[in-house]
Structure formats: C-alpha cells, structure tokens
Structure 1
Amino acid sequence: MNVPVVYWSGTGNTRAMAGAVAEGIRSAGAEPILMEVADADVAVLVSEDVFALGCPSMGAEQLEETEMEPFVESLEPFVSGKKILLFGSYGWGDGEWMRDWAERMRNAGAVLIRDEGVITNESPDEEALEECRAAGKELAAE
C-alpha cells in the first residue's frame, strides 16, 4: 500500500515532521510517497483512501495561502470517507490553525487520525518526531 504524505514547509520544521510520518508509515509495512505540495496532484490524492497533509501555521494561524490553501480547497470536496493525518508546526498562538483545519476536514467527511492532528511548537524535538512516527504507523495500519 502506498501512502502519500503531502506537505508545505518554510523553515524545514514541517519537512522534518513529514519525514518522521513517512518513517512510521514504512514501519507499518506500507510505502510512503513523500512530496512537497508544489509537486503534488490533487487527482492522485482523490484516488487514495489514506494520506497525510502537513502545513505550519502562517500569519494569523492559517494554512500557507499560496500553495497549501489552494491545494486543500481543491481536495476538500473529495475527502469524505478518507483516512487522513494532519500535522504541522507553529511559532505562536495555541494551535488554532490545526483545530480549524481538522474541523474543516471532518465537516467535509474525512476520518482523521488524531482528532486535532499532530503539532509542535517551532522545531520538532524527539518527542514530537516520535509522535509523528506513531501517527504515521497508525495511518498505515489496516
């Protein structure tokens, strides 16, 4: 089973989390397909039942608006019944962007792994990376 992990990262924090999610997916016996959102195709995710999306908090606690937000907006009508993991980092606030994103995906019918995603403040430490690995493993479990 292939499991896409699509992310946007400005400083490398969310990229590190994506790598840990991919490790967890691999440890569950699935094959992660790690890609930056600029290289991702909504049509590919539409055909998948399981995938992960990662984005840090930007501006006033929102998704990155030039690449990730348009991607999520295009994907949103097709997420009903799909098993999704959301993850990302933030530098301020309290994680409101992730709660909003998770609610948005649930309202669209997605089945979320980790109700409010996996988040970390600033650069992910080993504990946060381990949480990403565990979530990736859970995502890939059948």
Structure 2
Amino acid sequence: MSKSAVIYWSGTGNTEAMAQAVLDGLNGAGEDAALFSADSVRAADAAQYDKLALGCPAMGAEVLEESVFEPFFTELEPLLSGKKIALFGSYGWGDGQWMRDWQDRCAAAGAVLCGEGLTVNEAPDDIALAECTALGKALSLL
C-alpha cells in the first residue's frame, strides 16, 4: 500500500475544506493518507510520501500564497520527479492561471499529474466537495 499526504494552505477555510474532502477520497479508497498544513511539514518529509495532493488558493495576481506555501513548494519542487501529484485550490477572481502555472511547474519537475488541477470558485459547495473526494480517489488509482 502506498502512503499519501494531503498538504494545503488556507486563509479562509475554503481550501482546507477541499483538503479534507480529498483526504476522505484517499482514505475511502484504502490509502494510508495523512493531512498537513503547509506550515507543519518540511518539504523533505513530504517527499517521503508516494503520492501528494497539494492545495493552495490563488492569491494576488493569481499566484500561490507567498509567505507559507510558495516557499514550501519551492523547496519541494526539485523532489517531485516521479511523484504522483494532485493539485487543488480555490479562487475568487481570474481564470485559473495560477493553477495552469502550478501544473506546468510540477510537470517540468517530473511529477506525474493526476489530471488537471481542481479549482473551485469561492467556498466549495456539496458538488465541489464531491469533486474533491473524487480527486482523492483518482490519485489513489495512480
């Protein structure tokens, strides 16, 4: 059985709710999955997991959160080669450019992406949370 981690940053609770639903999908599929906020795990420790679900909302001009998540991800990025990765996050404006840029960074680092990143506008509703759970299940199948 592979080990999985869901690692996220959330300012309003929207991405945290998404992270919990992704975790539920992983655990429901039989994965040994753990949940961490980005400020509670080191990149080197995160890299020990077989599969990673990473969550961060769009901030500012559609970028990853800059004080906690971006430094964490920058440290993790060179360790992603061959890792199975799912990306998710919420946004309140823009067209999802932060997610496309993030996917490109993961692909350039050699990660195996679990489909396209899942984006939710504002707070996730029941449909969005079901999509998050499905993302966790899909990651378990990689």
* TM surpasses 0.5: yes
Number of the residue aligned with 1:10: 11
Gaps of 5+ in 1: none
Partner of 2:44: 43
Other structure's SS at 2:60 match: coil
Compute the displacement of 1:48 (Å): 1.9
1:11-30 residue CA offsets vs partner (Å, 9 max, x unmatched): 00000000000010011011
Find the counterpart in structure 2 of residue 69 from structure 1.
70
Count of matched residue positions in the alignment of Structure 1 and Structure 2? 141
> How large is the RMSD of aligned CA atoms in angstroms?
1.0
Moved more, 55-64 or 34-43: 34-43
Q: Which runs of 5+ in 2 are unaligned?
A: none
- In structure 1, the partner of 2:138 is 138
Letter aligned with residue 39 of structure 2: A
What's the % identity of the aligned pairs?
A: 55
Aligned residue in 1 for 2:121: 121
How far apart, in 2, do the equivalents of 1:25 and 1:66 lie?
28
Distance (whole Å) between structure 1 residues aligned to residue 127 and residue 4 of structure 2:
23
Give the Cα–Cα distance (whole angstroms) in 1 for the partners of residues 122 and 32 of structure 2.
Answer: 28
Please give the alpha-carbon distance, in whole angstroms, between the structure 1 residues aligned to 2:26 and 2:111: 19
Maintained 8 Å contact 2:3/2:50: no
1:67-114 alpha-carbon deviations (Å, 9 max, x no partner): 100011001111011100010000000111001000111011111112
TM-score (norm 1): 0.96
TM-score by length of 2: 0.96
SS of residue in 2 equivalent to 1:74: helix
* Aligned equivalents of 2:40, 2:136: Cα separation in 1: 21
Query: Which amino acid letter does the alignment assign opposite residue 45 of structure 1?
Result: A
Amino acid at match of 2:141: A
Distance 1:137 1:104 in 2: 23
